[in-house]
Amino acid sequence: MNILDVIAIEVPCEACGGRYEITLNQIALSQQIMHEGCPVRAETECPPLFYAGFVDGDLAQDLQRVWSRLEKEAHGVNGKVILHCP
């Protein structure tokens, strides 16, 4: 399981007043786009670039590494990691 697809940050929309979710994977992709030198000058030209600042760039990568380690440990005892959501 890609944990970055499962965890999201819910943020408000300033335009409509609603709320929407941005997954950590979307944030990580936004950060990758910026790192690779996307020539966009303003986040309004490319809305996904706006997500890059939502969390520290290393945080999502660290979470993915820890999650992978946890899955490997669970697999080592013939188990699997499950998520309990309220």
Q: Residues 17-41: pLDDT tens digits?
A: 899 899 999 999 888 887 777 777 7
What is the C-alpha to C-alpha distance for residues 10 and 35, in angstroms, rounded to an integer? Answer: 24
What are the pLDDT digits (tens) for 52-66?
Answer: 888 998 998 999 999
> What's the pLDDT at 24?
93
- The beta strands (E) that lie in the chain are given as 8-12, 19-23
> What's the pLDDT at 72?
96
Residue 3 has pLDDT above 70, yes or no: yes
What mean pLDDT, rounded, does the chain reach? Answer: 86
Write down the residue that tokens 């820890």 correspond to.
Answer: 66
Contact of 59 with 39, CB cutoff 8 Å: no
> What's the pLDDT at 50?
77
